[in-house]
Amino acid sequence: MSDKATIEIDGEKYDFPLIVGTENEVAIDIKALRSITGGAITIDPGFKNTGSCESAITFLDGEKGILRYRGYAIEELAEKADFLEVAYLLIFGELPTKEQNEKFHADIKAEAVVDEDVKKIIDAFPKSAHPMGVIASLTSALTAFNPSSVNVNSEEDMYRAIVKILGKFPVLVAWTMRKKQGLPLNYGSDSIGYVENILKMMFEKPNHTYEQNPILVNALDKLLILHADHEQNCSTSTVRIVGSSHAGLFASLSAGISALWGPLHGGANQAVLEMLEGIKQDGGDTKKYMAKAKDKDDPFRLMGFGHRVYKNFDPRAKIIKKAADEVLGDLGVTDPVLDIAKGLAEEALSDDYFVQRKLYPNVDFYSGIIYRAMGIPVEMFTVMFALGRLPGWIAQWREMRLRKEPIGRPRQVYIGETYRPFVNLEDR
Ligand code: SDX
């Protein structure tokens, strides 16, 4: 294969080196493009063909439906690892040894307390506030209560900030939900695991000791692993570009949470359940909604379907669909929207419109069915996505800082008015 790409502009030829990754992905290195061509740039709305960085964290192959964290297949990690092991792997690059795992757990548990004044911030929100807006605010507010976590120039400072947010974020997630429900805000316990604590803080009632259900613990652990990273998606790219200005980790994560909120991204898991509920209320006529999804004049989209990269089944959707069957079966729960979801998927997978556009169920299509079976309110679904994605955002932010990436500052092609002299008010 050639080791360069050549671009010709006005008869002038310019050569650019190729970068080839460990999975043989090829990129044209255009770092010198503007300087050697005298000003030409590229343009690529949505960055569909543009790489923002070289990264060693997550590999995905959209055509083959492959997803690996640091070289390990998502199917194996979901089956054999737990969430904090995967968090350690994503952030530090290797699966932890027994000692490293124990220290990581202990350091995170030591940080699983939040300044009581944070409750005053939560109290200021109306119960009607969307939990994503609350958790984004609380995450940014953490900077005020942990100022040492802003200028993390040493690996030690970075580690301290990382265990702080991994310890405190689940508390904020639980408090966000409990506040909305009018329930007391409580803590976990250092005698139980990370995922058990999330469930305990979310569901323990003042008059009822929460009994851990291993089915729910296992399902939530698996969901968090499946959401943990996904290379340069919208919210991760946001975390990286905000962090590239040397804004602190918590501020960068807060920006990523806001990007994830959108219904085209992480907000889709809430939109899927609302869509399925709407179809159920409307008599369960999936064919009517399939027609709406294909109608260019109809803004309705089949939420949870399609993906920028996956042009095959999202491997996470396959695992989550199986887990949804298991969880509902084990809990003895029947949820009619699961049948509607399966009916939509079967129809779409044999419909030319979807087949031609390679639209398959994505990570958000089935996840909400499990969250609902757990008793998590639909407005909290995207917060659960953020909880899972936290280690991936941290890993990508850390990689960007350790590689000393330059501040992100894209160029543009100006298409506005050319120079024109000012016109005084009385002359307009
Ligand atoms: C996530 O990037 C990531 O990795 C994200 C994520 C992660 O882990 O971080 O995987 C998580 O965000 C998953 C995606 C969740 N979003 C949704 O489920 C929302 C519904 N899906 C879409 O809106 C859409 O598929 C996107 C946003 C996911 C991808 O959009 P693209 O890549 O910009 O594709 P497009 O909008 O240009 O669509 C291509 C064609 C269009 O039709 P034509 O103009 O070619 O005729 O496919 C159609 C679209 O109209 N299309 C859909 C559709 N998705 C695309 N038609 C109906 N229903 C849909 N869901």
* Confidence at residue 333, expressed as pLDDT on a 0 to 100 scale: 87
Q: Is the pLDDT of residue 319 over 90?
A: yes
**Range 314-326 average pLDDT:** 94
* Confidence at residue 185, expressed as pLDDT on a 0 to 100 scale: 96
* Confidence at residue 40, expressed as pLDDT on a 0 to 100 scale: 97
DSSP-assigned states of every residue in 15-48: EEEEEE-TT--EEE--TTHHHHHTS-----GGGT
* Confidence at residue 147, expressed as pLDDT on a 0 to 100 scale: 85
Q: Is the pLDDT of residue 72 over 90?
A: yes
Alpha-carbon distance of 204 to 408, in angstroms, equals 44
* Confidence at residue 205, expressed as pLDDT on a 0 to 100 scale: 93
What number of CA atoms fall less than 13 Å from residue 418's CA on the CB side? 0
Residue 12 near residue 22 (C-beta atoms within 8 A): no
* Confidence at residue 153, expressed as pLDDT on a 0 to 100 scale: 80
| pTM exceeding the 0.85 threshold for the entire prediction | yes
Looking from the CA of residue 46, the nearest atom of ligand 1 is 33
Q: Is 320 helix (H, G, I), strand (E, B) or coil?
A: helix
Burial (CB count within 10 angstroms: exposed 0-12, middle 13-18, buried 19+), residue 175: buried
Looking from the CA of residue 357, the nearest atom of ligand 1 is 47
Residue nearest (by alpha carbon) to ligand 1 atom 47: 357
Buried b (16+ CB within 10 A) or exposed e, 280-303: eeeeeebeebbeebbeeeeeebbb
**Range 141-158 average pLDDT:** 87
* Confidence at residue 148, expressed as pLDDT on a 0 to 100 scale: 82
Residue nearest (by alpha carbon) to ligand 1 atom 7: 230
- Residue 151's pLDDT band (boundaries 50, 70, 90)? confident
Measure 38 CA to ligand 1 centroid, in angstroms.
36
**Range 370-398 average pLDDT:** 97
Please name which of 365, 374, 319 lies closest in space to residue 341, comparing C-alpha atoms. Answer: 365
- Residue 70's pLDDT band (boundaries 50, 70, 90)? very high
* Confidence at residue 382, expressed as pLDDT on a 0 to 100 scale: 98
Q: Is the pLDDT of residue 56 over 80?
A: yes
Which pair of structure tokens corresponds to residue 55? 């990264």
Which of 55, 308, 358, when mutated, tests ligand 1's pocket best, judged by the most ligand atoms within 8 Å of its CB? 308
Residue nearest (by alpha carbon) to ligand 1 atom 40: 357
Q: Is the pLDDT of residue 229 over 80?
A: yes
What number of CA atoms fall less than 13 Å from residue 401's CA on the CB side? 25
Alpha-carbon distance of 386 to 136, in angstroms, equals 10
> Which residues lie with the beta carbon below 6 Å from any ligand 1 atom?
46, 230, 233, 264-266, 268, 293, 301-309, 357, 359, 362-364
Residue nearest (by alpha carbon) to ligand 1 atom 15: 265
The DSSP 8-state label assigned to residue 78 in this structure reads: H
Looking at the chain, the whole-number percentage of residues with pLDDT higher than 70 is 100
- Residue 312's pLDDT band (boundaries 50, 70, 90)? confident
The DSSP 8-state label assigned to residue 95 in this structure reads: P
* Confidence at residue 1, expressed as pLDDT on a 0 to 100 scale: 77
Residues listed for the chain? 428
Looking from the CA of residue 231, the nearest atom of ligand 1 is 4
Looking from the CA of residue 301, the nearest atom of ligand 1 is 58
Residue nearest (by alpha carbon) to ligand 1 atom 45: 357
Q: Number of helices (H) and strands (E) in the chain: give both, helices first.
A: 18, 6
- Residue 2's pLDDT band (boundaries 50, 70, 90)? confident
Model confidence pLDDT, tens digit, residues 25-55: 999 999 999 999 999 999 999 999 999 999 9
- Residue 84's pLDDT band (boundaries 50, 70, 90)? very high
- Residue 149's pLDDT band (boundaries 50, 70, 90)? confident
**Average pLDDT along the chain:** 96
Sheet with 66-69: strands ordered across: 58-61, 66-69, 72-73
Measure 354 CA to ligand 1 centroid, in angstroms.
11
Sheet with 12-20: strands ordered across: 4-9, 12-20, 26-28
* φ, ψ at 73 (rounded to 5°): -70, 140
Give the CA distances from residue 248 to residues 141, 241, 252, 427, in Å, rounded to whole numbers and listed in that order.
12, 12, 6, 49
